[in-house]
């Protein structure tokens, strides 16, 4: 459905939906082809999963960096994109994508921004993501004060009594890491077996054996006690009703992410198992002018890796060039030949 042009709409060449690593690199690739970008993200900070879920974890498979912390990678990507002056709209979701009269789209956000563009790159990862909350009465009173669904800075937990709930990679990895700084770490898991990487699970069990981590298994979270947003006791129970009460300052429930495609599901692009179907050579979706890259896409052989998303960003930018600059022939150039403004 087209609708009259919104006169207050901001103008750009491309709107990138999602400021994760792949969306940020798309800004660079678009910039190298003289295309300007606005970037919208639901989160208050750029960096997608890298910032929100594992900023202090090292990544080992970014080409050229034998080891780089996820947060540092995002800093570098933002610096790499900066010469092309992207406009960030953070803390707001892209809610609507409307075809414009005369071509292109009007992108609308939950904070009322309207951005007119020639093309859209959906780099929305797993969609607007949020944590699976444990169903504990009153938990919202503690959230952000003593219940956290992600660890931004390990130092925030120095000398605290930490209870981690969950049995997957995130729970295991943070138990290992926080055991180095916290006053005490207890892990509540409903099964005796953990699903983390075998080497990490072995280290967890070794630290439990040495008394540095307490494993409370097979128990489930049953309640929180405290006041003014501060937890004092975490209650855990077995299926048979046996109860454990753990004195704690902090609860970290790691039950995975709720991945919600959200409004993207209504944009008319073909989907398969909650992923956007694309042509892997271009990132083109079934809607002309809408491209998708990164974790959100599916095609035969797709790998959900940052490095794959980077390559997809380059291919999408080249495919979009004729839409933004229909009168200019695209001459493929290396960055070494072309250079980057101000660098």
Nearer to ligand FAD, 212 or 304 (CB): 304
In the list 12, 42, 146, 298, the residue contacting ligand FAD (rule: CB under 6 A) is: 42
**Shortest reach from residue 148's CB to ligand FAD, in Å:** 15
Tokens 């990138």 found at: 16
Assigned token pair, 330: 């695209």
Q: Which residue is nearest to ligand FAD (CB)?
A: 125
Nearer to ligand FAD, 90 or 222 (CB): 90
Backbone angles phi, psi at 284, to 5 degrees: -65, 135
* Per CB under 6 A, 285 contacts ligand FAD: no
* Per CB under 6 A, 81 contacts ligand FAD: no
Nearer to ligand FAD, 127 or 226 (CB): 127
In the list 14, 33, 50, 250, the residue contacting ligand FAD (rule: CB under 6 A) is: 50
Size of the site for ligand FAD (CB under 6 A): 36
* Per CB under 6 A, 128 contacts ligand FAD: yes
* Per CB under 6 A, 323 contacts ligand FAD: no
Distance between start and end Cα atoms, the chain: 43
**Shortest reach from residue 174's CB to ligand FAD, in Å:** 10
**Shortest reach from residue 343's CB to ligand FAD, in Å:** 23
Backbone angles phi, psi at 237, to 5 degrees: -140, 145
Backbone angles phi, psi at 59, to 5 degrees: -105, 140
Asked if residue 76 lies in contact with residue 50, where contact means CB atoms within 8 angstroms, the answer is no
Nearer to ligand FAD, 48 or 253 (CB): 48
Rounded Cα gap, residues 223 and 225, in angstroms: 7
* Per CB under 6 A, 176 contacts ligand FAD: no
Site string for ligand FAD, 295-314 (x = CB under 6 A): x--------xxxx-x-----
* Per CB under 6 A, 53 contacts ligand FAD: yes
Rounded Cα gap, residues 227 and 210, in angstroms: 33
* Per CB under 6 A, 316 contacts ligand FAD: no
**Shortest reach from residue 224's CB to ligand FAD, in Å:** 25
Backbone angles phi, psi at 52, to 5 degrees: -80, -30
Backbone angles phi, psi at 71, to 5 degrees: -65, -40
* Per CB under 6 A, 94 contacts ligand FAD: yes
Tokens 């892990």 found at: 187
Rounded Cα gap, residues 342 and 337, in angstroms: 15
**What's the order of all strands across the beta sheet hosting 243-247?**
220-227, 230-237, 243-247
Rounded Cα gap, residues 177 and 161, in angstroms: 14
* Per CB under 6 A, 294 contacts ligand FAD: yes
**Shortest reach from residue 271's CB to ligand FAD, in Å:** 14
* Per CB under 6 A, 54 contacts ligand FAD: yes
Long-range contacts of 184-187 (CB under 8 A, 24+ apart): 184/214, 185/212, 185/213, 185/214, 186/162, 186/213, 186/214, 186/215, 186/216, 186/246, 186/248, 187/163, 187/213, 187/214, 187/215, 187/216, 187/217
In the list 29, 88, 93, 104, the residue contacting ligand FAD (rule: CB under 6 A) is: 93
**Shortest reach from residue 247's CB to ligand FAD, in Å:** 29
- Binding residues for ligand FAD, per CB under 6 A? 17-23, 40-43, 48-50, 53-54, 59, 61, 93-94, 123-128, 262-264, 294-295, 304-307, 309
């Amino acid at each position: 459905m087209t609708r009259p042009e919104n006169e207050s709409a901001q103008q750009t060449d491309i709107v990138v939906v999602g400021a994760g690593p792949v969306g940020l690199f798309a800004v660079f690739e678009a910039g190298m082809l003289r295309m300007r970008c606005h970037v919208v993200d639901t989160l208050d900070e750029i960096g997608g999963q890298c910032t929100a879920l594992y900023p202090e974890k090292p990544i080992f498979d970014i080409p050229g960096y034998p080891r780089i912390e996820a947060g540092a990678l995002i800093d570098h990507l933002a610096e790499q994109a900066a010469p092309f002056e992207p406009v960030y709209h953070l803390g707001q979701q892209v809610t609507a994508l409307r075809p414009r009269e005369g071509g292109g789209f009007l992108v609308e956000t939950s904070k009322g921004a309207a951005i007119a563009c020639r093309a859209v790159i959906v780099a929305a990862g797993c969609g607007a993501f949020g944590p699976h909350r444990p169903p504990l009465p009153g938990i919202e009173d503690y959230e952000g004060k003593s219940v956290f669904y992600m660890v931004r800075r390990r130092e925030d937990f120095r000398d605290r009594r930490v209870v981690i709930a969950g049995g997957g990679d995130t729970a295991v990895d943070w138990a290992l890491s926080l055991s180095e700084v916290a006053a005490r770490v207890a892990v509540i898991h409903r099964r005796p077996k953990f699903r983390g990487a075998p080497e990490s699970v072995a280290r967890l069990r070794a630290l439990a054996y040495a008394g540095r981590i307490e494993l409370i298994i097979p128990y489930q979270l049953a309640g929180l006690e405290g006041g003014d947003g501060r937890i004092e006791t975490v209650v855990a129970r077995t299926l048979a009703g046996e109860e454990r009460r753990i004195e704690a300052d902090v609860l970290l429930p790691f039950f995975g992410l709720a991945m919600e495609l959200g409004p993207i599901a209504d944009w008319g692009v073909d989907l398969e198992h909650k992923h956007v179907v694309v042509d892997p050579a271009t990132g083109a979706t079934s809607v002309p002018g809408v491209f998708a890259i990164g974790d959100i896409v599916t095609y035969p052989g797709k790998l959900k890796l940052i490095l794959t998303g980077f390559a997809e960003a380059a291919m999408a930018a080249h495919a979009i060039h004729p839409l933004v600059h229909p009168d200019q022939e695209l001459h493929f150039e290396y960055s070494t030949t072309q250079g980057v403004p101000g660098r």
